[in-house]
Amino acid sequence: MSGNSSIPVNPDVQTRRRRRPAVSCNLCRRRKIRCNRELPCNNCLRARQPDCVYDHHPPLRSSQRHDDGDAESVAAPASAAPPLSGASDGSSVLSRASTVASSNRVATSTNASTTSDGAVNGVESMRHQIRQLEEQLSRLTASSTTYSKVETTHTALAGTFSFHRLIETPKDESRDGSPVINRGVMHKTRMFGQSHWINAMAMIKDIIEMIEPSLKESPRAMTGMQKCKSMARVVKANRKPKDSEPSPLPLKSLADELLDCYLRTSETVHRVLHVPTFKRDYEAFWVSDTEPDPAFLIQLKLVLAIGAATHDDRFSLRSLAMKWVYEAQRYAAEPIFKPRFNIQHLQTSILLLLAREVTGIGEEFIWTSIGSLIRIAIYMGLHRDPSRLKLPEPTAFSVEMRRRLWNTIVELNLISSHTAGGPPLLTLDDFDTLPPANLDDEQLLADNPVAKPDDVYTDASVAIATREMLPIRLAITKFLNDLRSNINYDAILRLDRELRSTFKAIRGKLYQSMLKAGITVPGYRLDRLDFIMHRYLVSLHTFFEQTMHNPVYAYTRKVIVDSSLQMWRLATVDSPNRTQDMRRLATCGSGFLRTAISQAVAIITFELRAQIEDETYLSPAQLRPDLLAVLTDAKVHSVESLEAGETNVKGYVVMSMFGAYIDALKQGVTREELMRLIMEAVEEAVEDAFKILERQASQSEGYAADSFDALSLNTTPGQLPTEWDFLTSDLEFDPFQPEPMNWGVSLE
């Protein structure tokens, strides 16, 4: 047969040409119009069609085509996914997802006969679509359950607050209203997370808003507040060092007492010093004729400043303690960096933060300062356990001091972030340093000391106990202040259970070890642990606003009220089982204790009002006498704080306001009579506070009552600025006092 001869082909057996897969969406194909092959396409967008469905995967956009076929470069970011037009739920997204899944199977068979480049483009196109659909479904799911809301409240006592909240949409008809979840407060330039004490004020903001008009219209109250503010400036100006000369030390007998105050309070919880070594240097300091070491002298003054806060009921050494703190701050601010990367500098930095808190010098900004200290410690390798490092002298002393200091730094970071309402910014994965060993300080001077059993009390037992509670407290603080936390009541109850079970086991073990050691009055050590636990419970449960009236949250209502009452008792009431240290620190100091007390009193006020509102018509309200006693004692505590050197009178005014408000509600008076009683209490509180401040100012040098200018003694309503002059900064700019928004921080 010739090669040129042709063989006839049977048309029935000839391979049929496969139709090219459609690239337009279904709508454009039905209407026979040009489709731009987007998702959704231009015609579906114009027709407001929520479903833009392709039988096959849509081709990639021109901007997404790359010759290299790299999967990550081809796929567009999920944030660039186009929004759904007119979609109110996830049904269209789910249907589109199923379409993509079916097209996946079609594309698989199609790609078998295409080139490798076409296969890559097809797979990446589907991946891109899936990412888009997942992102849209996530947004729709979130928007269908909650929406955000910002409520702004202005108060004459503290300015403007913006409360950020999440509110569940009332789609579930079985619920009585939509739960309101507090997510933080914005005040001027600062954002406070859920753990900040100011969130409790959201529960009683309607009380303050009700009183606001009458407060602004009272010349007696406004003039009195101006006088108090001016007098407070005089007092604080006299406390601030006039020069940079070193402040003198007290006599050794008094210094011994201050050192003992520090060692039995702060050092038992926050291990900073090696006590035997420090005492040895302390005794040598008083008998030596040589020039003292400047670094040790600064440490000594900071230790004495911290001890002065619990030395007596009136903080009689407040002015001297503040001068010591300013001197230490100047020393720490000197531009000498490299030589200070050592253990002694870390100790001084920690003591400075503790002293700033108790003396009220920038105590609200400890959290920002601790960030620098953490970075220095990490630079020095304290976040790695010494067993993993090649230390020059790996003695038991150096190893344990590194562990103790890192443990204290982590603890201070956690407490300060919880108090400031900020995220911890430190996780358990960021360090592997072991907890301190159960060793007494004297054992660290020996070679290869053996740690004592866990049930034996040592100098490190309390620090070990706080470290064992670190994981659950860290989780709660992150849960409260992290913007991406999945807030729900089940999560709150789970964290509540974990905190209680952990604390119960740790506290029981610590208490038994103290009894074995002959410590019959645990005092400050256990009281502080109890206080911390209740502080976390209150913060954890102060999410929902309707806790006082909605029976669904009856457990939460009980927790925040009982824990608030317990915090109040721990910080202000003496008993045979505790020392005076907690009460003195709450009265004379600042920071963690004082802010928690403010939160506790606000919650108790809200509870008493709720009990009155829950009153039935058959019988009068049966108010809890222990809660009523708190409001009475809060005024006394505020006066004691003023007499101990506090200059901010707004806390005392607010406590008087709360007490008068609850008393008036109990009597069932009219609204006009209610406002009259409240304003009388406010005016009386302002006058009493001014007398206390005047006595403080008269004890300073150069004060003349005749020359005192009260600034606006003839002020009439409407002449003062929006937030009142007394809310502005007292002195020229001071890094320790950038913004005195602390009217509720202490119960002055």
H/E/C letters for each residue in 219-281?
HHHHHHHHHHHHHHHHHHHHHCCCCCCCCCCCCHHHHHHHHHHHHHCHHHHCCCCCHHHHHHH
**Cβ contact 391:399 at 8 Å:** yes
Please give the backbone phi and psi of residue 185, each rounded to the nearest 5 degrees, phi first. Answer: -135, 135
pLDDT of residue 408: 97
β-pairing verdict for 190-192 and 180-187: antiparallel
Euclidean distance between CA atoms 379 and 699, whole angstroms:
47
Q: What is the pLDDT of residue 122?
A: 62
β-strand partners of 163:
151, 185
pLDDT value for 592: 83
The token duo for 667 is 């009597």
pLDDT in the model for residue 55: 74
Q: Which pLDDT score, from 0 to 100, does residue 106 have?
A: 41
* The dihedral formed by the CA atoms of 700, 704, 710 and 711, expressed in degrees to the nearest 10: -100
Nearest to 627 by CA among 727, 731, 541, 548: 548
For CA atoms 148, 152, 157, 158, the dihedral sign is positive
Q: Which of 614, 606, 603, 597 is nearest to 531 (CA)?
A: 597
Q: Please name every residue paired with 162 in a beta bridge, in sequence order, or none if there are none.
A: 152, 186
Compute the CA torsion angle 510, 512, 516, 519 (nearest 10 deg): 70
CA angle 347–352–353, rounded 5-degree value: 105
Specify the pLDDT at position 100.
Answer: 43
Could you give the angle at the alpha carbon of 310 between the alpha carbons of 305 and 311, nearest 5°? 80
Q: In the prediction, which pLDDT does 46 show?
A: 81
Domain ranges of the chain: 143-220, 221-238+548-572+579-700
Taking CA atoms, 444 is separated from 274, 393, 395, 447, 458, in Å, by 9, 14, 9, 8, 12
- Does this model's pTM top 0.85? no
Given a contact cutoff of 8 angstroms between Cβ atoms, the answer to whether 246 and 327 are in contact is: yes
Per-residue model confidence (pLDDT) at position 738: 36
What is the mean pLDDT of each successive set of 10 residues along the chain, which is 748 residues long?
Answer: 46 54 82 84 80 67 41 35 37 42 42 46 69 62 52 63 58 44 66 74 73 82 89 88 86 96 95 96 92 93 96 93 94 76 92 94 88 93 91 86 97 93 91 96 92 95 96 93 77 94 95 91 89 93 70 89 94 80 91 86 90 68 88 93 90 91 90 92 94 87 52 38 32 34 36
Answer yes or no: are the C-beta atoms of 350 and 463 closer than 8 Å: no
Q: Quick one: CA dihedral 105, 110, 113, 115, positive or negative?
A: negative
Q: What is the pLDDT of residue 150?
A: 65
Q: Residue 236: its pLDDT value, please?
A: 87
